[in-house]
Amino acid sequence: MTAMTALTEQDTAASEGLASDAASQMTKANRYALNYLADARNVWLDEILFFGNEVLDRAITETKLLNEFASKMAGAHSMKDLGTVYQECTRHQLDFLRRDSERLLRHSERVVDNTSKLIDTFRRNK
């Protein structure tokens, strides 16, 4: 009977060890999932804020360009003046497109950096 009791106690101890190990693993997995979701939420919020700022900045710039074009067109008194206005406004528009492209590239770099940080977080907690 003692051998049977000893085997039962060993089985119980092993079961308790497995249960506590499983609970520990679940706690670790839940903590990891919570951290990952919090990081993903922060990235999304940053992107939404960035997008809002970019849209506002672009609208302001477009409005300034249109205002400048309208005032120069109103001040032009000859065909030569109109040609000069066209050249200046074209240059300004190309400048705006260049800045917009640079802004897009910087944004793409931010997206890649944020994505790599999320992947790094995933790898560290694996």
**88-113, pLDDT tens digit by residue?**
888 988 998 898 899 889 888 988 88
**Is 74 within a domain?**
yes
Q: What is the mean pLDDT of residues 63-78?
A: 86
**Is 5 within a domain?**
no
Q: What is the mean pLDDT of residues 66-86?
A: 86
pLDDT at 98: 92
**Is 98 within a domain?**
yes
Angle of helix 79-124 relative to helix 2-75, nearest 10 degrees, comes to 170
The whole-angstrom separation of Cα 54 and Cα 65 is 16
**Is 77 within a domain?**
yes
Q: What is the pTM of this model?
A: 0.58
Q: Name the one residue in this structure whose structure tokens are 């992107």.
A: 47
Could you give the number of structural domains in the chain?
Answer: 1
Confidence of residue 15 (pLDDT cuts 50, 70, 90): low
For residues 15 and 47, the model is more confident at: 47
Nearest to residue 33, comparing CAs of 23, 41, 44?
Answer: 41
Domain containing residue 53: 38-124
**Is 14 within a domain?**
no
What are the structure tokens assigned to 34, written together? 């919570």
